[in-house]
Amino acid sequence: MSQRQVLQVFEQYQKARTQFVQMVAELATRPQNIETLQNAGVMSLLRTLLLDVVPTIQQTAALALGRLANYNDDLAEAVVKCDILPQLVYSLAEQNRFYKKAAAFVLRAVGKHSPQLAQAIVDCGALDTLVICLEDFDPGVKEAAAWALRYIARHNAELSQAVVDAGAVPLLVLCIQEPEIALKRIAASALSDIAKHSPELAQTVVDAGAVAHLAQMILNPDAKLKHQILSALSQVSKHSVDLAEMVVEAEIFPVVLTCLKDKDEYVKKNASTLIREIAKHTPELSQLVVNAGGVAAVIDCIGSCKGNTRLPGIMMLGYVAAHSENLAMAVIISKGVPQLSVCLSEEPEDHIKAAAAWALGQIGRHTPEHARAVAVTNALPVLLSLYMSTESSEDLQVKFAAYLCLKPQKYLLPNLENGNSKSIYPWGCNEIN
C-alpha cells in the first residue's frame, strides 16, 4: 500500500536524523573530534535540527550544541552568530524538562567564555526564561538554570545587576533550601558570584535572606558545598562593615572554626578567607574574632597547610595585629610569631613571603615589647637575608624595606643588639640610616 510506503520513507528519515544527532552528541564529548565537526559545518545542521518535530531529536541536538560550545569560545561565538539563541530561548519556555536542561546547558556553555558572549545571551532575553526555569518542579532543571545564571553573573557587575534585575536572587535562595546537594552547591556558587562585584549587589543578596540559610548549611558534611558556602559568605562580608556585621550576626562563630580543621584544602582556604574578610574592617570585629578563639584556630590551620592555602590565614593575622597593640599582643601570646617566621623561611613563593613579612611588621610595630617578641624568633636575620638576596622580586624588596623602616630605630636597635647574629648589626644600622 502506498500509504505505508510513504510513511516508511518518513520513518527512515526520522531514524536517520535521530542517529545523526546522537552520534554528533557522542562525538562532541571528545576534544579531538570537535575540530573536524566544526570544519564539516555541524553548526548549521544542528540549528535546523533544533526546530525538529520530534522532541528527542530537539533535545539531543541541544545537548550536542552545548557540548560543542563548551569546548572553546570560537564555537560559542559561532553559536551566537547563527542566531540559535533566540530559538532556544523561545522554546525553553514551553518544552519539557529534558529540553529545558539541554537548553540551559547550551546557555551556560556559551556564557562562560567571555563577557561579550554573556551580554549576547542577556540581550536575547534569556534571563527571564532562565528565572522561570528556576521555579520549575524538577531539580535538574533548576540546577541547569542556576548554573547558567552563575556563569553569566560571574564576569562583571553589569551582568550581575542584570541577573538580579530579572529577579533571580529570591529563587536562588529558595533553591539553596532544596534537599538535593548538587542544587545547593550551584545555588550557593551563583549567589557568591553575584555578591562579589559590588556592595549593592551583596546587599541585595543579604536582603533576600540568604545569609541565615548559608550559615545553617556550614554544618553540612559535603566538602564542595561547604567550599561554595564559605566563598559566598566571604564575598558578602568583604565589602563593608555592615555586611560583615550581618554575617557575624548569623552566628557563624565558632562553627566556622571547625571548617578550618577540614580535610579538604579549599574548605580551609575559604574558611580562613572568610575570617580574614570579617576581621579586616574594624578593631571591634577583630576583637570578636580573637575572643572566639579564631586566632589560635587560624594559626593551627596555617601550620597544617602548604602553599597558597596559607595566604589568607597569614593576611588575617596581619590585619588583626594592625588594629591595636592589645590585639597584636593577643596574636603574640597565641604563638603566632614562630609560625609566621616558619612560613617566611620555608615558603618558596614570593607573595607568601611578602605577606608573612607584612604580618610580622604589623605585629612588631607597636611597642618595644612587640618588637622584642618578633626578634626573639630569629625572624630578622631571615628578613634581611631575603632583602639582600638578588633573586627576590621587586615587590618583596619593597615590602621588606617598608617593614624595616616601619619600626622606629629605638625599637629595632636594642633588639638587634640582643639578637643572635651580631654580624647583621652594622649592616642593619646602615640600612636604617
Partner 1 sequence: MATLARLQARSSTVGNQYYFRNRHLNRIVTVIQKWWRSFLGRKQYQLTVQVAYYTMMMNLYNAMAVRIQRRWRGYRVRKYLFNYYYLKEYLKVVSETNDAIRKALEEFAEMKEREEKKANHEREEKKRDYQARKMHYLLSTKQIPGIYNSPFRKEPDPRELQLQKAKPLTHRRPKVKQKDSTSLTDWLACTSTRSFPRSEILPPINRKQCQGPFRDITEVLEQRYKPLEPTLRVAEPIDELKLAREELRREEWLRNVNDNMFLPFSSYHKNEKYIPSMHLSSKYAPISYKEQFRSENPKKWICDKDFQTVLPSFELFSKYGKLYSKAGQIV
The candidate with the shortest Cα–Cα distance to 321, out of 254, 268, 371, is 371
Cβ pair 364, 371 in contact under 8 A: yes
Q: Which residue in the set 39, 53, 94, 137 belongs to the binding site for partner 1 (CB under 8 A)?
A: 137
Nearer of residues 109 and 256 to partner 1, judged by Cβ? 256
Nearer to partner 1 by C-beta: 219 or 429?
219
Q: Which of 29, 258, 418, 420 binds partner 1 (CB under 8 A)?
A: 258
The residue within the footprint of partner 1, chosen from 55, 86, 293, 307 (CB under 8 A), is 293
| Minimal distance, residue 345 CB to partner 1, in Å | 24
CB of 311 to partner 1, least distance (A): 21
Q: Which of residues 237-256 bind partner 1 (CB under 8 A)?
A: 254
The torsion angles phi and psi of 74, rounded to 5 degrees, stand at: -65, -45
Report yes or no: 126 and 89 within 8 Å, Cβ to Cβ: yes
Given 135, 158, 349, 395, the residue binding partner 1 (CB under 8 A): 135
- In whole angstroms, the minimum distance from the beta carbon of 303 to partner 1 comes to 11
C-alpha cell at 24: 554528533
Q: CB 149 → partner 1: shortest distance, Å?
A: 17
Contacting partner 1 (CB under 8 A), which of 73, 242, 300, 369? 300
The C-alpha cell at 77 is 561565538
CA atoms of 394 and 391, how far apart (whole Å): 9
Does 261 help bind partner 1 (rule: CB under 8 A)?
yes
Question: Does residue 333 bind partner 1 (CB under 8 A)?
Answer: yes
**Among residues 88, 102, 141, 296, the one that binds partner 1 under rule CB under 8 A:** 296
Task: State CA 200 to chain mean position distance.
Answer: 19
Buried b / exposed e across 153-192, counting CB within 10 Å, b at 16+?
Answer: bbbeeebbbbbbebebbebbbbbbeeeeebbbbbbbbbbb
288 binds partner 1 (CB under 8 A): no
**Cβ–Cβ < 8 Å for 29, 68:** no
Spatial separation of the C-alpha atoms in residues 292 and 295, rounded to whole Å: 8
Contact track, partner 1, 138-157, x by CB under 8 A: --------------------
Q: Which of residues 13-32 bind partner 1 (CB under 8 A)?
A: none
**Residue selected from 37, 79, 188, 208 as contacting partner 1 according to rule CB under 8 A:** 208
Q: Which residue has the cell 623561611?
A: 345
Grid cell at residue 374: 618578633
- What single string gives the DSSP state of each residue in 242-264? HHHHHHHHTT-TTHHHHHTT-S-
The answer to the question of residue 96 lying near partner 1 (CB under 8 A) is no
Stretch binding partner 1 (CB under 8 A), from 193-201, 257-265, 278-286, 316-324: 257-265
Instruction: Kindly tell me which of 8 and 291 has the beta carbon lying closer to partner 1.
Output: 291
Q: d(Cα 273, Cα 313) in Å, to the nearest integer?
A: 7
- How far, in Å, CA of 246 to CA of 236, rounded? 9
Which range, of 1-9, 41-49, 289-297, 344-352, touches partner 1 by CB under 8 A? 289-297
**261, three cell numbers:** 580543621
- Residue 33 falls in which region: left (phi positive, over 0), alpha (psi -120 to 50) or beta: alpha
For partner 1, the binding residue among 45, 82, 132, 292 (CB under 8 A) is 292
Q: Which residues bind partner 1 (CB under 8 A)?
A: 135, 137, 170, 173, 207-209, 211-212, 254, 257-258, 260-261, 263, 290-297, 300, 326, 329-330, 333-334
